[in-house]
Amino acid sequence: MEELLEKLLEAVEFGKVDKKSPYPPQLRDMDGAHELTIRAIETGIKPQKILEEALIPAMERVGKKFAECKIFVPQMLMSARAMGSSMFQLKPYFASGAIKTKGTFIIGTVKGDLHDIGKNLVSMMVEGGGWSIVDLGVDVGADKFVEALKNNPGAVIGLSALLTTTMVNMGEIVANIREQAPETKILIGGAPVNDDFCQKIGADFYAPDPQKAVEYLNRIAS
Amino acid sequence: MKYKSLIINNPEELMFGIAPKPVKTRRGLEIGGGQVYAELNFTLPVMSINDNTLNQVYAHYREIAEGALERALHLNSKGVVLEFETLLEMTKTPSIGVEIVKIMNGICEDYYQKFGLKSEIRLTPNDLREFERPAKQRSSQFLEPLFELFEQGMIAGGDLLSIESTGGKEVSDEALMMCDVKGMVFALAVLGVRDMQFLWEKIVSVANKHGKIAAGDSACGFANTAMVLAEKKYIPKVFATIVRVISVVRSIVAMEQGAVGPDKDCGYEGPFLKAITGIPISMEGKTAACAHLSPLGNIASACADLWSNESVQNIKLLSGMAPTAYLEQLEYDARLMNEALRAGKMHCQVLQQLLVASDVYTDPQALILSPENVIRISKELVKGDSYVANARNGALAALDIIEEALRSGRMKLPELETGYLPILRDDLNTIPDNESEFIAMMLPLIDQSKFIPAEYGL
Ligand code: B1M
């Protein structure tokens, strides 16, 4: 049982999606996250245990290696894909409530802004940290955030902006969200924003990078 | 590809301030005609653009242009280009962009009439088509305001026309993150090329209609994104280097359609375009640290004809407003290069060698920009029969150059980087010469929900 979880952890850590995937070379022809998750479920391992003892620790290792510049984004993405294939198998258990993520994170690049590379990285790393993600994409106005929040009560909101002329739209979005659900936690990020700006618009936290975003979310989840 | 050989074959002739096909402007700048000029780029500070703030917006651009030209005059500048890169609202509502051009052009004209200071405006509307996802590159409703801004902005005094067009970005964003070199060749040499053909034919035709200058594009959304990601250590520098080389076959399409330069500042593919087509180019390096970091601070100026700062906010610094301060920095760099140009070939070569030597072996992205390497790679970039083959050949030449520098011990890269070299080479070697074959090979591998093949004529 433990050995199976250990193997799944390794598959996700090194980005082995499924058996036929050629990546990574050292795990060629071996079972990937897809097969190992199926086996784990069949063996009777609780889905929550699969999530907490294999998938999340694997992505934590990946996040640490990335933060220490020991791997690049493609390796991290392969791990995210491996985790995704495992999560696909676990989907019914999320739906039935048999497993719970740490929470839901609604993220989007604000109105008028199309820069999304940074936002996508944040979203991927937060998902790897055990959160459900609702990615609203780019050019997202207050109404869409509010609507997504209605559909996901209690979710944390993440706003990204890269332009000096769109970061101001964050203020309007924060105000709208506060009106609808004042207790909502709001995290902001992007090249032109900073801590002062975060405080000025009444958001809760400014994360300069994805790692800090994950740390913050984990703090408020615990 | 139209170009089959290089206009500049000798690295010694790939020099700052001198282009085989200089561009002369309305108020007398001769870009590439023996002088380097400053090209100042600027943007708004933190603020919204809406009906209530329009007067403030206009006041910012007035202040920027006046501050820059006043400083240029004080420093005995030989001439200045002001690049106006529009923000969303200024393109969506073209009258806003046109009004800003009018304001700045009035100031340029004033300084020209009163003091003989030559200046010109480069008008760079942002590519609105991206707002629809997947983008409708050819049938987008946004093409109308975009071209209205080009046309009315030209009439209002925008003499040099540019754009950072984004055709192919739907595929390249993911390919960049996955270090997928074949995906990048598809994005740039297939989709990018087709979109550039579509867009630049139109830009050149409006420019000709009004006697204005179709200047050039920039692979900013592709190769600069790669560079910025590599600076953050998100992707390998060697991959970003290869992406830069591949981007040449895409950006050169503007020239094939009739653009004459100066190519746009953030297109670090400019030196290759200069070698192949002879047009003058704008470049940015250490002076662009206000907008993004780069490993090319000095070497980027080695063959620049305009020297730029990419973009700076109109905020107050201790010395004065930031655009004024940046104009001064650009001007001093230009002055140094102009002094070398005045003193003669030998002085130019010494200065260029120093600019090159100070960066060249510190990063593979700098390495490929030395004049020798630009010429060597450019030869490979024109040798094949298709854009795809040329992109592959250029990229392989760049890999050779990186490996030679590593073998000689002059450049050092961590294993995390060098591990990618054989992977990139193997991947590049699977790319066929024939474009149709390549397209057939790639289409099944690409997420077709992200782009509309018909919008590229596929
Ligand atoms: C929710 O919690 C969080 C937490 C952390 C968060 C977070 C959210 N979001 C981000 N983070 C943080 O974590 C991420 C990972 O570390 C980081 O995200 P970043 O996004 O910062 O980092 C990314 C991993 C890599 N960085 C990037 O991807 C951005 C790099 C630069 C060079 C840049 C790029 C690449 C692009 N651009 Co744009 N672009 C620039 C950028 C320069 C800069 N200094 O940022 C900037 C932002 N752009 C600018 C401009 C002017 C423009 N751009 C435009 C277009 C583009 C491209 C399409 C070409 C491309 C975007 C590709 C894409 N899919 O996103 C246009 C606008 C389009 C629009 N409406 O949005 C256009 C208007 C250019 C034009 N005229 O066409 C400038 C801003 C000027 C201003 N007024 O603010 C600019 C500073 C470059 C410049 N010219 O100086 C952190 O910030």
pLDDT along chain A (222 residues), means of 10: 91 96 89 96 93 93 92 93 93 83 95 93 90 95 96 97 95 96 97 96 96 94 78
Mark whether A88 and A125 lie in a shared domain. no
Mark whether A85 and A119 lie in a shared domain. no
Mark whether A35 and A109 lie in a shared domain. no
d(CA B21, CA B268): 19
CA B191 vs CA A218, B171, B249: distances in Å: 41, 9, 11
Mark whether A158 and A188 lie in a shared domain. yes
Distance (angstroms) between ligand 1 centre and the Cα of B153 equals 25
| Phi (first) and psi of residue B4, to 5 degrees | -115, -10
Dihedral sign, Cα of residue A98, residue A99, residue A105, residue A108:
negative
Mark whether A147 and A43 lie in a shared domain. no
B245, B394 in Cβ contact below 8 A? Answer: yes
Give B-chain residues touching A70 at CB under 8 angstroms. 416
B235 and A74: CB-CB below 8 Å? yes
Q: Which helix (H) or strand (E) holds B22?
A: strand B18-24
Mark whether A138 and A61 lie in a shared domain. no
A130, A102 in Cβ contact below 8 A? Answer: yes
Q: Of the residues A70, A96, A122, which one is the last residue of a structural domain?
A: A96
* Ligand 1 close to Cβ of residue B226 (< 6 A): no
Cα distance from A156 to chain B (closest Cα, Å)?
Answer: 25
Residue contacts between A and B (CB atoms, under 8 Å)? 59
* Ligand 1 close to Cβ of residue A115 (< 6 A): yes
pLDDT of residue A100: 83
Which chain A residue has the Cα nearest residue B131? A114
Q: State the complex-level ipTM.
A: 0.89
Q: Of the residues A96, A115, A138, which one is the last residue of a structural domain?
A: A96
Q: Number of C-alpha atoms within 13 angstroms, CB side, residue B435? A: 17
A72 and B236: CB-CB below 8 Å? yes
Nearest by CB to A117, which of B46, B48, B225?
A: B225
A178, A171 in Cβ contact below 8 A? Answer: no
Mark whether A114 and A90 lie in a shared domain. no
A163 and B87: CB-CB below 8 Å? yes
Mark whether A91 and A109 lie in a shared domain. no
DSSP B316: B
B44 and A168: CB-CB below 8 Å? no
* Ligand 1 close to Cβ of residue B217 (< 6 A): no
Which chain B residue has the Cα nearest residue A81? B178
Q: Which tokens belong to B387?
A: 């854009």
* Ligand 1 close to Cβ of residue B89 (< 6 A): no
Give B-chain residues touching A74 at CB under 8 angstroms. 177-179, 235
Task: Look up the pTM and report it.
Answer: 0.94
E strand residue ranges, chain A:
104-109, 132-135, 156-160, 186-189, 205-206
Mark whether A28 and A116 lie in a shared domain. no
Mark whether A154 and A78 lie in a shared domain. no
* Ligand 1 close to Cβ of residue A180 (< 6 A): no
pLDDT of residue B202: 98
Residue type (1 letter), A61: R
Nearest by CB to A168, which of B47, B131, B229?
A: B47
Q: Which tokens belong to B277?
A: 């087509």
Distance (angstroms) between ligand 1 centre and the Cα of A151 equals 29
Mark whether A64 and A114 lie in a shared domain. no
Q: Of the residues A72, A96, A120, which one is the last residue of a structural domain?
A: A96
CATH code for the domain in which residue A184 is found:
3.40.50.280
- Ligand 1, atom 77, residue with closest C-alpha: B126
pLDDT of residue A97: 81
Which residues lie below 8 Å from residue B92, measured CB to CB, with a gap of 6+? B128, B142, B145
Give the nearest ligand 1 atom to A119 CA: 9
Which residues lie below 8 Å from residue B256, measured CB to CB, with a gap of 6+? B1, B2, B3, B197, B200
Task: Calculate the CA dihedral of residues A17, A21, A27, A31 and round it to 10 degrees.
Answer: 60
Whether B97 and chain A come into contact, CB under 8 Å, resolves to no
Nearest by CB to B46, which of A120, A139, A168?
A: A168
d(CA B83, CA B158): 9
Domain that holds residue A68: 2-96
pLDDT of residue A222: 67
CATH code for the domain in which residue A16 is found:
1.10.1240.10
CA B163 vs CA B11, B252, B308, B361: distances in Å: 29, 13, 16, 32
Report the residue count for chain A: 222
Mark whether A115 and A212 lie in a shared domain. yes
Provide the residue-wise pLDDT of chain B in tens; the chain has 458 residues. 999 999 999 999 999 999 999 999 999 999 999 999 999 999 999 999 999 999 999 999 999 999 999 999 999 999 999 999 999 999 999 999 999 999 999 999 999 999 999 999 999 999 999 888 899 999 999 999 999 999 999 999 999 999 999 999 999 999 999 999 999 999 999 999 999 999 999 999 999 999 999 999 999 999 999 999 999 999 999 999 999 999 999 999 999 999 999 999 999 999 999 999 999 999 999 999 999 999 999 999 999 999 999 999 999 999 999 999 999 999 999 999 999 999 999 999 999 999 999 999 999 999 999 999 999 999 999 999 999 999 999 999 999 999 999 999 999 999 999 999 999 999 999 999 999 999 999 999 998 888 999 999 99
B345, B78 in Cβ contact below 8 A? Answer: no
Q: Which tokens belong to A69?
A: 């510049």
B89 and A112: CB-CB below 8 Å? yes
* Ligand 1 close to Cβ of residue A164 (< 6 A): yes
Distance (angstroms) between ligand 1 centre and the Cα of B94 equals 23
Per the structure, the count of domains in chain A is 2
- Ligand 1, atom 22, residue with closest C-alpha: A118
Select the residue from B42, B46, B227, B237 to test the A interface by mutation, using most A Cβ atoms within 10 A: B46
* Ligand 1 close to Cβ of residue A187 (< 6 A): yes
